[in-house]
Structure 1
Amino acid sequence: MKNELLAIAKRSEEIFDDFSKEDAISEISVDEIRKQLVKYDFNEPKPLGEIIDDVQFALGKWNLQTNHPLHFGLFQPSITSSGVVADALVALYNPQMATWWFSPAANEIERHTLSFLKLKFGYDPDTTFASFTSGGSESNYTAVITALTHRFPEYRENGAHALEKQPIIYASQDAHDSMIRVAHQTGLGRNAVVRIPVDSERKMDMQKLKVQLQADKLQGREPFMIVATVGTTSYGIIDPVEEIIELNKTENLWLHVDAAWGGGFVISDEAKSYLKGIEQADSITWDPHKTLPIPTGAGFFLTKHREVMKQTFSVNASYVPDEIEGSVDSYKVSFSWSRRFTGLKIFMLLAESGSENLSKLLTHQVQMGNHFRKLLVDNGWTIVGSSPLPVICFTHSDHEQNIEKILQAVLDRKKVWLSKVDFNGQSVLRVCISSFKTEISHLEILMDELKTVMK
């Protein structure tokens, strides 16, 4: 069995190398894709080998190649073979993570991995709580419902309608929209999320936060949570976490740090200083699959309030085996019941690479971001935003009205993939360096592509 899995790992690396030799963008045809699927009417069985050939052909031909070093996309890192093998092992053994008894080894592997990650975030592994989730949306949901239960004990049994005042969540205007959905899901309503304007660098404006807090109190509302973003999706911006902590000494709100992308940089010895203050948060969201070279489907939630997790999620299910001493059944302390063995891909990556090598990998991406900033300035481009992380937004004074045309011209050439965002009412180009394979030579190719379409 080990030899077969090692063969899968080797073949995966070969396929990844093949991706790098092709264009970053495939020729996409909706009609061709649908035509390929017509033969699958699901009435007659087909040989597994034929199905594998068809699926592999389709995914290889009609898929954005996120494993490509010239893919500068939306937090989709290149992956390594250990993640492929991990997901294969999970599918093979199919452990059920709801209770410790259903999958003792898998639960202990996750517990061991979570303890390591707690330390990286500056949390005491013995007094805090962490769990793997499906992704950032589930983690943010967990943060809000836990904070509600902590602040309003009556919420657990009677819901939002039992609360005398409207609970309020503060998040910057650039915070992830999952918070809007979470407010809807928890019964608070979407208007419970108050968007705080950002400053000229697109960080949460602290003065406007203070004014809004006082205004809401005067209007009879009850602020209970502040969400600080570490690495906004559009710009990679880090909100002023330490200033929010200082303000919160008098406000005593639940501080949640949404670090779905940026959180992983706590592993980088060079970049972790950018996340200063995160260790004082009441809770943290991080998506390992947005920062580390692993397949999609790995979220992470962390909180200092260990005791509140059981208060929030515990139920009694007589059909489930009793807990054993020293273990915790995850269905009693988290949103999910049946859950995939998410932690294995992270465990195997950490075990195979070692934290020092992962630190170097993430530091390399930060360095590539800094190098690209220099390339931009040297070639007459203007950088907007001030993220120290490897998301770079930029425009050109001679072509400010043509950014969308420039982007489309680059994409039409299919060598590289990048995107655009709105920055203070104007379209700008956006590059995110999330591949450990991206080197200076690839950044120079990107710059050459920009020069070519601007001639």
Structure 2
Amino acid sequence: MQFDFDNTQRKEILETVFKKLENYYSRTKDFKTNPDLNIKEIRESILTKELTNGIIPEKAIDHVIKGLENFSVHTPHPKYFGLFNPRSNYAGIIADLITATYNPQLAAWSHAPFAVEVEELLIREFVDKFGYGKNADGVFATGGAEANLTALLCALNHKYPNFAKDGIFGLDKKPIVFCSVEAHHSIQKAAKIVGLGYNLVKPIPVTDDLKLDSDILQQELNKLDTSIFSPLMIIGTAGTTGTGTIDNLNQLNSICKKNNIWFHVDAAYGGGVILSRDLKYQLSGIEKSDSITFDAHKWMSVPMGTSIFLTSKNEILGRTFRITTEYMPKEADKLTVTEPFTHSIQWSRRFIGLKIYLSLLFYGWQGYEKTINNQTEMGNYLRKQLIKFGWIIKNNTNLPVVCFTIKEFENDINFTDKILNNILSNGKSWLSVYPIKGIPTFRACITNYNTTKKEIDELVDELNKEVTTYARQ
């Protein structure tokens, strides 16, 4: 079959691929951090006549590699100080190659028992890390959005026993979801998907230190018209996307327990500190939650998308997703195993967990602890360097997310945009702008385990030169 090629051809193709990938992986820092966004040029580059009959593999590979190198923000770059998109560690890359080759189908236990049991082991490991009891449960997801959607579905099925059968038409009141105004937009998206609508998501203002204001939350609960509405869920964020803030999880837990409300923690980014003995105190209270979202493809530096949903309610995933079919394999019926397709939004399931498992086999939990501690130190170093040169820090977090500006230009609406455009045009660094209480700030996040003081000094120097030029205009 021509899809397979012969042994010699496959070897030549792999050698071509690995040579080009190694060239990129070993010299990522030599690339511009971001491309020129010429949409006409990009679209013309992919409209190739060769799609009809195909071309030789070497040319096809070269075409794709050039496209990715010329038209991508290079998130693996050590001077990418952007969103939570880290450089993939090498174990994770190899894991994706292995998974693609063996292509195990994790819908049914009997089809991929090794793979399913690896993921079950990892779920138990993370259950222990986050402080849940032995009866807790969990499942791998394709991203934080799926994990947050899973949380909402579990909360609905927990509060309304007939929800799986009757859906929203069986509800006597409108469920309300409470979260911070800084919470991730996937919360609104989840509400849209399940049919509640995002009007039933109630964003709560934040305090001066950008945490969900629990006093205002309690006030909103007190004035809720319970003849129409019913509080379903409160979401605390551990590491907000914009400012890296961790909400007061113990306070939110107390409110949830007092009002019998599902407590979910979106720890997609900040959950990584649980792997550090020196830093995990910041997540105090997360062990009391009903569910947790954690993205390993953020701080654990494995390829997209590798997320985990955990819950302290060990029966709720089954109640939410269990279904029977005649065509699924029955070999595991008499075994004490959980069929993955009865436990997850997904049906056909990729071996997501291998990226973490192989990384742990390569580096161990201790390797991750060192990496997370180091990136946190780099965040502290960035703050010190910025303050040294007159910048002011506008967010308050121990995570390596730094939002900053110059006091003199705080109210200048052109300041951040002008400097950001210049920096992105230079292609030496990548960072973003994020508004804090109406004031635009530069946002730099240490996401790359290869980012050192050298790259941070270069970023600060670049910023200082741009400010000097701007002030002269």
> Shorter-chain TM-score category?
over 0.9
8 A Cα contact 1:260 1:290, kept in partner: yes
In 2: Cα distance, 1:373 partner to 1:55 partner: 39
Q: Which amino acid aligns with 1:416?
A: S
Equivalent residue number for residue 319 of structure 1: 327
8 A Cα contact 2:176 2:201, kept in partner: yes
Matched, 1:425 2:425: no
Q: Which amino acid aligns with 2:449?
A: F
Equivalent residue number for residue 89 of structure 1: 98
In 1: Cα distance, 2:158 partner to 2:351 partner: 28
Of 58, 80, 101, 1:71 maps to 80
Distance change >3 Å, CA 378–CA 219, structure 1 → 2:
farther
Q: Which amino acid aligns with 1:408?
A: N
Equivalent residue number for residue 376 of structure 1: 386
Task: Give the drift of 1:93.
Answer: 0.6
Task: Give the drift of 1:151.
Answer: 0.6
Q: Which amino acid aligns with 1:43?
A: T
Matched, 1:450 2:450: no
Of 115, 138, 163, 2:146 maps to 138
Task: Give the drift of 1:9.
Answer: 7.8
Secondary structure of residue in 1 paired with 2:179: strand
Task: Give the drift of 1:31.
Answer: 2.8
In 2: Cα distance, 1:117 partner to 1:179 partner: 23
Of 202, 210, 219, 1:202 maps to 210
- Superposed CA RMSD in Å reads 1.9
TM-score with structure 1 setting the length: 0.95
How far does the alpha carbon of each residue in 1:414-450 deviate from its partner, in whole angstroms, 9 at most, with x for none?
1100000111112110001011011111110000000
Equivalent residue number for residue 169 of structure 2: 161
How far does the alpha carbon of each residue in 1:268-299 deviate from its partner, in whole angstroms, 9 at most, with x for none?
22221111111111000011101111111111
In 2: Cα distance, 1:328 partner to 1:259 partner: 26
TM-score with structure 2 setting the length: 0.92
Secondary structure of residue in 1 paired with 2:109: coil
Matched, 1:405 2:405: no
Task: Give the drift of 1:25.
Answer: 2.5
Matched, 1:356 2:373: no
Distance change >3 Å, CA 419–CA 8, structure 1 → 2:
same
- List gaps (5 residues or longer) in structure 1: none
In 2: Cα distance, 1:40 partner to 1:240 partner: 57
Task: Give the drift of 1:12.
Answer: 4.8
8 A Cα contact 1:8 1:85, kept in partner: no
8 A Cα contact 1:310 1:332, kept in partner: yes
In 2: Cα distance, 1:347 partner to 1:6 partner: 26
Secondary structure of residue in 1 paired with 2:450: coil
Task: Give the drift of 1:183.
Answer: 1.1
Equivalent residue number for residue 52 of structure 1: 61
In 1: Cα distance, 2:359 partner to 2:16 partner: 17
Task: Give the drift of 1:307.
Answer: 0.8
Q: Which amino acid aligns with 1:368?
A: M
Equivalent residue number for residue 230 of structure 1: 238
Deviates most, 22-31 or 364-373: 22-31
Equivalent residue number for residue 262 of structure 1: 270
Matched, 1:281 2:289: yes
In 2: Cα distance, 1:317 partner to 1:23 partner: 51
Equivalent residue number for residue 15 of structure 1: 24
Of 87, 102, 106, 2:111 maps to 102
Equivalent residue number for residue 332 of structure 1: 342
8 A Cα contact 2:173 2:227, kept in partner: no
Equivalent residue number for residue 401 of structure 2: 391
How many residues align? The count is 452
Equivalent residue number for residue 122 of structure 2: 113
8 A Cα contact 1:10 1:81, kept in partner: no
Secondary structure of residue in 2 paired with 1:23: coil
Q: Which amino acid aligns with 1:347?
A: Y
Distance change >3 Å, CA 45–CA 14, structure 1 → 2:
closer
Secondary structure of residue in 1 paired with 2:335: coil
In 2: Cα distance, 1:365 partner to 1:54 partner: 35
8 A Cα contact 1:98 1:337, kept in partner: yes
8 A Cα contact 2:423 2:429, kept in partner: yes
Matched, 1:213 2:221: yes
Task: Give the drift of 1:409.
Answer: 1.6
Task: Give the drift of 1:220.
Answer: 3.5
8 A Cα contact 1:258 1:286, kept in partner: yes
Matched, 1:122 2:135: no
Task: Give the drift of 1:325.
Answer: 1.1
In 2: Cα distance, 1:220 partner to 1:60 partner: 54
Task: Give the drift of 1:218.
Answer: 4.8
Equivalent residue number for residue 190 of structure 2: 182
Deviates most, 245-254 or 168-177: 245-254
Secondary structure of residue in 2 paired with 1:431: strand
Task: Give the drift of 1:197.
Answer: 0.9
Q: Which amino acid aligns with 1:384?
A: K
In 2: Cα distance, 1:10 partner to 1:360 partner: 30
- List gaps (5 residues or longer) in structure 2: 1-6, 469-473
